[in-house]
Amino acid sequence: MNLILFGPPAAGKGTQAKRLVTERGFIQLSTGDMLRAAVASGSELGNQVKSIMESGALVSDEIVIALIDEQLTANPDAPGFIYDGFPRTVGQAEALDQLLEKRGTKIHQVIRLVVDEDALLERVTKRFEEQGRKDDNPETFKTRLEKYNADTAPLIPIYAERGVLKEVDGMGSIEAVSTAIDGALGAAV
Ligand code: AMP
């Protein structure tokens, strides 16, 4: 099972991915988490991406595709993968198709969390106060939203045309969103 959790930054993808990991044993592949871990470890990759991430821009397709490739190879027997924050560009989506095809599989579902941008800004301001993530400050967050609308949102019609996209209201409580996602996943998993 390959499931993409899709939506703008702070839409709740990470929260839902972690729940599905606990409940269904899937592996969460969050490129944002992987990159933050690289920055925290002070590795060469971390130093390379630190300022890009802090500015709210996207790191190169090449870097994140390599991270995903590595994780797919490291977990050959996983019951499923949840892609969280990846793919974020058309190039990444094409590369993911190829990585999966090489392994005899494909994207089964894309669940899009539909959220209101003003409400997101409020949500992320709160997260900034609680967690202090530099790229959650309101100015940087606006850049991240712009990147989402310019580079990531074009994937929506692509997945819709393929018949794998389902939309879920992402503005409710965590419980309500969880129920909606489980409904969208249905008997598929
Ligand atoms: P996230 O936690 O998913 O919002 O990611 C935090 C930051 O990491 C983003 O603003 C980007 O700078 C970088 N990043 C994470 N995933 C990707 C990706 N798939 N492509 C490019 N940059 C990414």
Residue 32 beta carbon below 6 angstroms from any ligand 1 atom: yes
> Considering only the top CATH level, what class is 2-186?
alpha beta
Residue 95 beta carbon below 6 angstroms from any ligand 1 atom: no
Residue 120 beta carbon below 6 angstroms from any ligand 1 atom: no
By most ligand atoms within 8 Å of CB, the mutation choice from 28, 82, 83, 88 for ligand 1 is 88
Q: How far is CA 64 from CA 20, 47, 76, 107, in A?
A: 22, 15, 19, 17
By most ligand atoms within 8 Å of CB, the mutation choice from 30, 33, 35 for ligand 1 is 35
The structure's pTM equals: 0.94
**Which runs of consecutive H residues, i.e. helices, occur in the chain?**
13-24, 31-41, 44-55, 61-74, 90-102, 117-131, 138-147, 155-162, 174-185
Catalytic residue annotation: 13, 88, 127, 133, 144
Q: Return the higher-pLDDT residue of 2 and 133.
A: 2
Given a contact cutoff of 8 angstroms between Cβ atoms, the answer to whether 29 and 68 are in contact is yes
Q: Is the peptide bond before 76 cis (omega within 30 degrees of 0)?
A: no
Rounded to whole angstroms, the Cα distance separating 6 from 187 reads 20
Listed by start position, the domains of the chain span 2-186
Residue 161 exposed, middle or buried by CB count within 10 Å (0-12, 13-18, 19+): exposed
Rounded to whole angstroms, the Cα distance separating 86 from 118 reads 23
Given a contact cutoff of 8 angstroms between Cβ atoms, the answer to whether 49 and 39 are in contact is yes
| Residue 127 pLDDT | 86
Q: How far is the CA of 163 from the centre of ligand 1 (A)?
A: 26
pLDDT digits over 9-64, tens only?
A: 999 999 999 999 999 999 999 999 999 999 999 999 999 999 999 999 999 999 99
pLDDT band (50, 70, 90) for residue 178: very high
| Residue 188 pLDDT | 52
Q: How far is the CA of 72 from the centre of ligand 1 (A)?
A: 18
Task: Give the residue-averaged pLDDT of 179-188.
Answer: 84
What is the CB neighbour count within 10 angstroms for residue 186?
Answer: 9
pLDDT mean across residues, the chain: 94
